[in-house]
Structure formats: structure tokens, C-alpha cells
Amino acid sequence: MWFGIPRWQVVMLALGLAGYIASFVGAPPLLIFALAAAGLIPLAGLIGRSTEDIAHYIGPKWGGLLNATFGNAAELIIASVALRAGLINLVKASITGSIIGNLLLVLGSGLIVGGLRHGVQRFDTREAGRNSTMMLLAIFGLILPATFNLADPNAVRVEEVSLVVAIVLLIIYFAYIAYSFTASETDAIEQELHVAEPEDGYVPWSRRTAMMVLAVATLATVILSETLVGEVEAVIREFSVSEFFLGAIVVPIVGNVAEHFSGITLAGKNKMDIALGIAAGSSTQVALLVAPLLVLLSLVIGPQPFDLGKGMNLVFLPMEIVAVSAAGFLFNYISRDGETNWLEGLQLVSLYIILAAMFFLIQIPEVSGGH
């Protein structure tokens, strides 16, 4: 441990610094990309830990709200940088990848680990039900703009519809937060927004240290995201890796790996309510907060600011819609009975592997302005 930071995180932070330096000395694009990705992993973890430690001082409810705000901060920063660089396909794919990664890979891995250790595991169906409903709403928020685009493919009107849907989804998300915040019958916000009681022997940082770490980690994430995104096109050209695969598989894993590890660890400790809240809550947040925010941000920081029809819309590829729908409906089915086992986890992971293989092999023609 170094100032309370695990040694492996220190090593990966050093790799990230090496990647940033390498970008100025003409190093190979793949090396820069890999080093920057390695450095972003512990930064995401530091953002998560600092918000959890701040929550220790301000209480679970306000801490939960803070954690909700920063829960996907690293991924939002990476996506915003990519959006500013005009990589709209990458941004959309990262949204898809985050949703299916949390619902299938993270939750599935947690169910396998927890099921093998504890057999059948049980959880609160009310919390899972709320997440399922929000996830289904998000799915329809993706389907309807795509359906509108088929009927009326005018780019300006499609973006106008996307803006309306984005605003409505944001309103629903904040209503969901408000409901969780004021719910008297459960500590929903504590579970769904990933605030847990400290483990025995765990010593949280002081409030000042946690706030400093949060600020520095966020700034460093912006810098390394610029480095990572700056090499995307070179990596695609040199190694024939699709932008879609990088966005759907690589970027979400890099941005959320620390949170993924927490979810799997908690499932292994038989804390299924919190583990389920991390996986499902994070997917809900990406679909109802991150995606709508990126649509609105594209009007300001996109390659052609304030030009309707040139920004990011909510029209996703049919494969993306099918992937998110399959993940959402499978999660809804598994969460109905309030109990899980390792076989259900294996089913979730199997679907993720199938989708990842398809994302890797698919060849998507480049379309100006996104999908």
C-alpha cells in the first residue's frame, strides 16, 4: 500500500504516465493506447473510492447521491473526449457496451462466483424490479428514435426527436433518484447507488484527502482520455480493429473495471442486494443519464456545435438495440423470483461472449455523423 492505494494501482498509474509521455515521443499507437487504457483503470477506481469515502462523512443518502453523480464519471469523460473528436460511432458503441457489460459480464461473473461459494443466493425483488422497469424504459428510449428514423430519416428531425427523448429520460432518472432518496420503506439509494458500510479494518481517507484525490483523479482521467482517444483512429487503421469493437468492449471495460471488481467481490461475499445494485444500477445510469447527457453535450462540444443534424442522436444500430434488449429482458427474467445461482450467471456471461464475438467480426460501413 502507498498512501492507502494498493500497489497494483500504483503500478498501473505509472503505466498511464508512461503512456502520456510516450504520446510526445512518437511511440507506436498501440503501445500508447494500451498504456493509457492501463492508467485509466486505477483512476476509475480512485474516483470510486474517493466518492465512497466522502460518503462516509456526509451520510449514506447524500453520499449515495454523490456516488450516483460520479458512478460513471470515467466513462462519461472518455465518451465526452471521443465526442469532441467526432468519434460518434465509438461513443454510441461504448453506451451499448456499458449496458450489456454490466448486465451480462459483471452480474453474470458475480452470480457464478457467489453461486459456487454459497449455492442459491437471494435478494430484494423490489429493488431489482425497479431497476428492471427503468431498464425496459431505457430500451424503448433506444427503439423509438430508431423507428422514427426508419419512417423519417431527416437528420435534423431525428436529432430533435433524440433531444426530446434525452430530456425525458433525464427527468425520469432524476425522479428515480428522488424516489430512492425519500423512500421510507427501504434504503434503496444506499444499495442502488453503491454506498456500502466499510469493511472491518478498512480506514477511509479523511474528507480533505478524499476530495483532493477525487479532483486529481478526475483531471488525470481527462488527460489520459485525450491520449487514449487520440490513438483510436491510428489503431483502427494499423490493426484493422473496428471502432465499434473498441467502443463496445474495450472502452467500457477500461472505464468500469474497478466497479466491475466491486460487484463481483460483493457477490462472492453473498451481498447480493448491493452487487445487483452495482450491476443493474450502473446500466440504468448509463442508459438514462450518460447517454442523454452525451446527446445534449454533442450540441456544445461536438465537431459542429449548435448545428442540428450534425450532433449525436439516439439512433443505434439494429444489432446494438437487439443486444441491449436481450440483456435487459434476460436480466428482467432472472430477477423476478428473488434468487440466483451459478447457472444463471453462466447464461448471462455466455450471451456476453456471443455478442462480443459478433461485435468483433462485424464490418460496419462508416456513415457521416454517426450510425
In a domain, 282, yes or no: yes
In a domain, 66, yes or no: yes
pLDDT tens per residue across span 35-68: 999 998 888 888 878 887 887 787 656 665 676 6
The whole domain housing 182 covers 7-361
Question: What are residue 25's phi and psi, to 5 degrees?
Answer: -120, 15
Alpha-carbon distance 298 to 130, whole Å? Answer: 30
Full DSSP string of 174-188: HHHHHHHHH-SS--H
- Percent of all residues in the chain with a pLDDT value above 90, rounded to a whole number: 36
In a domain, 368, yes or no: no
Given a cut of 90, whether residue 7 has pLDDT beyond it is: no
**Residues paired with 121 in a beta bridge:** 340
CATH number of the domain bearing residue 21:
1.20.1420.30
In a domain, 120, yes or no: yes
pLDDT of res. 366: 52
The residue among 206, 169, 243, 176 whose CA lies nearest residue 56 is: 206
In a domain, 302, yes or no: yes
In a domain, 159, yes or no: yes
Could you say which DSSP state residue 205 is in? P
- Average per-residue pLDDT for the chain: 84
Band of residue 191 on the pLDDT scale cut at 50, 70, 90: very low
In a domain, 1, yes or no: no
CA neighbours within 13 Å on the CB side: how many for 344?
Answer: 23
Number of domains making up the chain: 1
Average pLDDT over residues 72-90: 87
In a domain, 366, yes or no: no
Can you tell me which residue has the cell 436529432?
Answer: 159
Contact 151, 22 (CB under 8 A): no
